[in-house]
Amino acid sequence: MPSTNSHGSKRAILYARVSTDEQVSSGHSLDQQLEALREYAAREGYEVLEEVVDAGYGGGSLARPGMDRVRDLVAAGNVSMVLAQDRDRFARKVVLNGLLDEEFSKHDCKNKALNDYGDDSPEGALMRGIQTQFAEYERAKITERTRRGKVAKARKGQILRSSKPPFGFRYTATSDGLLIHKPEMAVVEKIFRMAAAGLGRHAIQTRLYAEGVPSPKGERVWSRSTLKKILFSDLYIPYSRDELAGLVPAEVLARVDADARFGIWWFGRKQVTVTGYSPSLPGKRRAAL
């Protein structure tokens, strides 16, 4: 049975977490987790001190507002148990779960998942470690399966929808294409005109601020990284059908209108910076993109 604090009562914190890519159908919705935890706490005679949630945070790190709150409450004392529905709700890595176990034990507190294997014996701790490793493995499989699915869609020329469309565009009603959003695209055109006139990103940033043009995040100041993302994106460059040959798969090219112009929205492409040292300039670093 869970340990009690110095006052002889059992006090628990209920913790629930769901990442941005987890859906209700996965069995990890916040409401569902909390309901199961409340039932367990009531059945086992725990006084619930607080319910803490992390919505939209992955389990690969402990840097989460809710988890910070849990750790602060445990450190303050008078907490017997931190309860979660599954072990991977605390963290998806063995080392992170071990860190929490050690940290909580210093304050006479334990963490428990409703799907835990074993008891508090060394064998039980071993089983929980294996359980967490299996969760890591399952997550890696899901991540790789998702990546391969996205690659397959990209090779077919299909849109890979994210939470927000690229600046200057909106998703179609069926989310399988992009539509030009004229007010934002006018800003994109302004940025390219200034760049064509020889202005650098700092100067463009200053002009946009002076004109009160809001950034994609609705802020007054445009970051130079945002400007770079727009200026170096093939999405805003009009390619002809002939220019697309060799850049996109043949099956995608076959569907392209020969009289239209298209931007390219890449998936999986990375910019690589190569650095080296010039033998003629000792100590001076030479970089090439």
Residue 13 one-letter amino acid: I
Among 105, 122, 143, residue whose Cα is nearest residue 21:
143
Write the DSSP symbol of residue 24.
G
Q: Is residue 140 part of a domain?
A: no
Q: Residue 42 belongs to what H/E stretch?
A: helix 30-44
Which residue among 75, 110, 135 closes a domain? 135
User: Tens digit of pLDDT for each residue in 90-131?
Assistant: 988 878 888 898 899 999 999 999 887 655 656 556 566 666
23 and 120: one domain? yes
Task: Please say if the pLDDT value at position 14 is more than 90.
Answer: yes
17 and 99: one domain? yes
Mapping DSSP to helix (H, G, I), strand (E, B) and coil, where does residue 132 land? helix
Backbone angles phi, psi at 111, to 5 degrees: -110, 140
Contact 79, 12 (CB under 8 A): yes
Number of domains in the chain: 2
Q: What is the mean pLDDT of residues 198-209?
A: 94
Mapping DSSP to helix (H, G, I), strand (E, B) and coil, where does residue 102 land? helix
Q: Is residue 162 part of a domain?
A: no
98 and 179: one domain? no
pTM: 0.48
- Domain span at residue 174 reads 169-275
Which residue among 93, 110, 135 closes a domain? 135
Residue 145 one-letter amino acid: R
Q: Is residue 41 part of a domain?
A: yes
Instruction: Give the other-Cβ count within 10 Å of 19's Cβ.
Output: 16
